[in-house]
Amino acid sequence: MFENLQERLQNIFSRLKSRGHLTEKDVEAALREIRLVLLEADVNFKVVKKFVADIREQAVGNEVLSSLTPGQQVIKVVNEELIKLLGGAKSDIVFASQPPTILMLVGLQGSGKTTATAKLASLLKKQGKRPFLIAADIYRPAAIDQLKALGEELDTPVFSGDKGLSPVEIGRQGLKEAVSRGCDVVLLDTAGRLHIDDEMMDELHEAKKVLHPHQILLVVDAMTGQDAVNVAVVFQERVGIDGIILTKLDGDARGGAALSITSVTGKPIKLVSIGEKLDSMEPFHPDRMSSRILGMGDVISFIEKAQETVDEEQAKVLEEKIRKQSFTLEDFLHYMGQLEKMGPLDQIMKMLPGVPGMPGLKNLRMDEKMVGRLKAIIQSMTAAERQDPSIIGGSRRSRIAGGSGTTSQDVNQLLKQFKQTQKLMKHLGKFGQSKPAKNLFSIFH
């Protein structure tokens, strides 16, 4: 997510921090680089122009340039302005005082709208809500079947109505069904098109007039960059939207849509989808996203994910082992399994301050197959080998590979990853003793 943008901005800031004294000329040079980086990231030109001007206004003052840490002060200004650019504060979904709350999801085909509807239902269920899904996309038959399948997976009711009904009539009947079932949030999946047309907008206007949704959420594909922003502008002008759901954010290496869309439309990003699983939708936090982009980590999100997934007692044991530097291959396997529950390992690690720049992190990826392979390799080792991998030579590697049904290269890869993880554990131990979080691993319990 925003990998290219993160790397280049962090290079700029590293140079600023390395200088004990900054001149106005130094700041201007950095701003030119930032401007270029943002434009290459497909951020809207007008947005970039204002963003850079706002930073310049604050960063070239005597208070910043004459401070003891001028480089860090400039970065602080950039962070504050980036938060504003992303919307300022978290924008929650507003629920009706008298349920059910009606949320209408709109967007083009291919934006991930139907899947986003199911993901939002999953998120709402976590929050204690009772969602009800209405499949009103009658133009893409697969959309109705898809939503029904997702609803079954979530154990959430889906209404599609009889064949031949209009989308508005499906919505009307669905609302009655939702009320009779006692559901408190209704998610209406409307029809998309391959492009914006008058017929599409007329249908949405009709649905808005008859069904009175409390909020209209536009679903856009983050990977389409400025195209997503242009689509959002048209929907805002012709239908009116209350917020934006960005899908496929984990695949967006540039960040143009996320950094432009709120400034251009005046509407907040409310939710983002990061990953393919149904539990991969999360509220959008401008401050946390800015922190990630600038390489400062996102400890709060890390804590929230950890509290949802990591076993308390085993986390306490792991914490003690790390502090005593007795971290073994068995612990390595367990730790990877725990973090895997929180999401893609490389994404989780990037939430911790200082970790994104660590060598080898990009290669530290885990999936279910890899965890199974590592387990087989470790179980094929002797107790002594698990405690002290340094004793594993060529003949031992061959024996372990044969016993686990893998190759010597697989065993080498495991040992390499274990060394990387030991370095990471050392970093986490130091971070856990820092002032912001005296006990990092207390977040697990």
* pLDDT computed for residue 33 by the predictor: 93
* pLDDT computed for residue 434 by the predictor: 44
Q: How many CA atoms lie within 13 A of 265 on its CB side?
A: 31
In contact, 188 and 104? CB cutoff 8 Å? yes
In contact, 104 and 208? CB cutoff 8 Å? yes
Q: Which of the residues in the chain have pLDDT under 50?
A: 298-299, 358-361, 363, 431-445
In contact, 165 and 173? CB cutoff 8 Å? yes
Task: List domains and CATH numbers for the chain.
Answer: 3-85 (1.20.120.140), 101-293 (3.40.50.300), 299-444 (1.10.260.30)
Give the total residue count for the chain.
445
Would you give the distance in Å from CA 30 to the centre of its chain? 28
* pLDDT computed for residue 23 by the predictor: 83
**Secondary structure of residue 216 in the 3-state scheme:** strand
* pLDDT computed for residue 86 by the predictor: 92
Helix (H) or strand (E) holding 383: helix 383-387
CA-CA distance, 156 to 181, in Å (whole number)? 11
CA-CA distance, 250 to 275, in Å (whole number)? 6
By DSSP bridging, strand 281-283 and strand 269-273 are antiparallel
* pLDDT computed for residue 367 by the predictor: 54
